[in-house]
Amino acid sequence: MSVNVEIEGEIAIVTIANPPVNAVNRAVRERLLALAQALDDNPDVRAVILTGAGTLFVAGADIAEFDRPAEPPFLPDVIARIERAAKPWIAAIRGAAFGGGLELALGCRFRVATESARFALPEINLGIIPGAGGTQRLPRVIGVTDAIRIVAENHTPGGAEALKLGLVDALVEEPLLPAAIAFARNALEHALPSPSLDRPVSVPSPDVWAEAEDRIAARAKGAAAPARALQALRHGIEHGAEAGLALERSIFLELRATEEAAALRHLFFAERAALRPAEIRGINPRPIETVAVVGGGTMGSGIAAALLNAGLSVVLIEQDEAGVARARSTLTGIFDSSRRRGQITDDQASERMARLETSIGYGAAARCDLVIEAVFEDLTVKRSVFAELGRICRPDAVLATNTSYIDPRLIAEGLPWPERFLGLHFFSPAQVMKLLEIIPTPETALDVLATSFDLARRLGKIPVRSGICDGFIGNRILRRFRAEAEALVCGGVAIAAVDAAMRGFGFAMGPFEMQDMAGLDIAFLYREAARSRGEHVPDIPGDLLVRAGRKGQKTGGGWYDYAAGDRRPQLSAEAERIIAPLVGARNDVAEETIVARLMAAMAQEGQLILDEGIAASAADIDLVEVHGYGFPRRRGGPMFQAARARADKT
Ligand code: 3HC
Ligand code: NAI
């Protein structure tokens, strides 16, 4: 870390250089505090420019420090010192000014930025609120309405919008520093504006708070931080900046110490580490521009949409005209719905469809850099697809299967150049779900692995490497989770009680509601196949339901009943009667017990997966659950939960 000072005439330039993102840690705080004094004492200096080294300003406070108690000097005090300095400080910003970075900039008397600048207070994503004056200075600089969107709703303006908002005083071209120096010289010719904290602020309408509360509550999904950030902002408007700063800091310190914030920090670092596993460091990925997707059903269409969204060209291969027409209409539907939700423009939707080519037969795969197979889950069908691809594709083209359960080694048997083959397991809907399980075989080349991680990054996915086992990481844990849920029911716990407990924990749906939505038949057929191979697989309640024709929502009932056209589950006396032979006496257990049983089952399976070397780390398992299976983000994942439970006991 270094905070460098250069003097250019009467202007001092202070550069925070703390790679990779200029995070403000204790050393930076100490140095800034000392510099504010030293530059005030330097009679040659009339103004100070504060900037960040490299491509960004400051990404925020150093999150790695948050597992320890806060250590002085505290950031609010450093910012207050800068704000009250005798010489005006001017923030010169390119790239991210996030969290404590934006708060530092707000403590400066002026802000100049390039178009590349981005401003955010992403603290709520970490389960905390801004802790260094962001909730107080921002509304005094840009007004209450826009400040709420940035403080509590994750709005992230760029340079041009920041100028319109009044968040920056001038938008300048690169090179940034000479432009900032010219700005400073000019500013010194005029009266200085008030410090941010001293500026007047008013409430645009009395409804502003209630409206913001409603918007925040609708999106909070149980997270506490957004409403608390609003509370701090409002307090400062109603009771003055000093009271606002005090409340902000106390909420910040309170939330920083919560389990939720610890869980979110754990995921923050896990998500970043996931993109850069040690084994592929320094290995160049193969260039990928055109991708063939074989099979345009549920998964193939979703994968094609994800690729098109990321700017790649796609050739979608189906068996016949009907398959092609179905896939085209699914993709049109996907882009139409993004358009309706305002996520993309009409032109972008058309441009994406223009990058799609459809084909019957594999000829077009010859010019593709990557092929992703998503045909029926059947070894013979998949093998015949790869036999064709092996003949047609370039030897350096990467070939991937999206199989859910089949051993990729069996699929690749006999494939020429098997080092280019691996599993790329997307999750449904593939254009939405962030998880990508990457499953190399023992023969997969390292640069093919690196290509897959690079592809994940380009698609905005979270890649997790999995070894080969039945169900890979995610479906293997899912199976154990479901088995435990059924064991609870067999032990007399009500179906609805299990679902309610898991919803209470933060899942969008309980395990039985989820099965009804996805269909009970696939897992049933899987168990039946094992039985037909002579394996001993005892009947479970789900088997009885499927045999009675109850396969879930699609048949009007599974664990619950469903009225026609209504997805809301209704308690089902029929389902209870069908499973009764396997169910013990009614046993009402506490929600915490249900959650603890299901968490323990997931964590035990996770531990086996780790011990067998299937997953590289416990954090990877958490990422699989959070990004592929709806595990509540604020709970950090099953392995995080287990580690915290162990720590509590010691
Ligand atoms: N503290 C510590 N480390 C950080 C960090 C932070 N605030 N922000 C990023 N990092 C680390 C990452 O963990 C990663 O480390 P690694 O190389 O060891 O994996 C490295 O910096 C690079 O990060 P990214 O991979 O995310 O880099 P990108 O270039 O893709 O993105 C960024 C840059 C947009 C700045 C992104 O890193 C980001 O959004 N950072 C987090 C911003 C944030 O949440 N700030 C608020 C912090 S809390 C705060 O400021 C409290 C205050 O109110 C008192
Ligand atoms: P699907 O049945 O919706 O689609 C399969 C498509 O492949 C059909 O459109 C079919 O016409 C086409 N097809 C079959 N043989 C073909 C061939 N030889 N050439 C070209 N096209 C062919 O199936 P779905 O659900 O999309 O699954 C596909 C694969 O993805 C399976 O391996 C499945 O296990 C896996 N998967 C499925 C997930 C899901 O949630 N549905 C999740 C993750 C993986």
325 lines ligand 2 (CB under 6 A): no
Per-residue buried b or exposed e for 427-445, using 16+ beta carbons within 10 Å of the residue's own CB: beebbebbbbbbbbbeebb
Check the CA dihedral 330-331-336-338 and report its sign: positive
Ligand having the closest approach to the CA of 432? 2
> What is the distance in A from the centroid of ligand 2 to the CA of 305?
15
Distance CA 256, CA 26 (A): 17
Residues 6+ apart with CB under 8 A from 7: 13, 42, 44, 45
Closest CA to 145 of 197, 204, 199, 201: 204
| Binding site membership of 404 for ligand 2 (Cβ less than 6 Å) | yes
Alpha carbon distances (Å) from 335 to 197, 305, 312, 342: 45, 8, 15, 11
The encoded tokens of residue 220 equal 């909070």
C-beta of residue 263 within 8 angstroms of C-beta of residue 444: no
Q: Do residues 445 and 412 make contact, with C-beta atoms less than 8 angstroms apart?
A: no
Looking at residue 53, its amino acid is: A
* Burial label, 345 (beta-carbon count in 10 A; 0-12, 13-18, 19+): exposed
Supply 446's token pair. 């390292």
pLDDT reported for residue 220: 85
Determine which residue's CA is closest to atom 47 belonging to ligand 1.
Answer: 60
- Residue with the smallest CA separation from ligand 2 atom 44 is 404
Tell me, yes or no, if 475 is annotated catalytic: yes
Q: Give the position, in ligand 1's atom list, of the atom nearest the Cα of 59.
A: 35
- Averaged over successive runs of 10 residues, the pLDDT of the chain (650 residues) comes to 92 98 98 97 97 98 94 97 98 98 98 98 98 98 98 98 98 98 97 97 94 94 93 98 98 96 98 95 97 97 98 98 97 97 96 97 96 96 96 97 96 96 97 98 98 98 97 97 97 98 96 95 90 95 97 96 94 97 94 97 98 98 98 97 88
Which among 395, 421, 387, 388 has a CA at the least distance from the CA of 407?
A: 421
- Cα(299) to ligand 2 centroid in Å equals 6
**How far apart (Å, rounded) are the C-alpha atoms in residues 389 and 383?**
10
Which residues are paired to 317 by β-bridges?
Answer: 294, 359
> Is 428 in the active site?
no
Nearest to 582 by CA among 613, 544, 556: 544
Residue 296 CA: nearest ligand 2 atom is 9
Instruction: Give residue 260's pLDDT.
Output: 95
Question: Which among 635, 646, 649, 642 has a CA at the least distance from the CA of 266?
Answer: 635
Alpha-carbon gap, residue 52 to 93, rounded angstroms: 7
pLDDT tens digits, 478-525: 999 999 999 999 999 999 999 999 999 999 999 999 999 999 998 899
Q: Which residue minimizes the CA distance to atom 20 of ligand 2?
A: 318
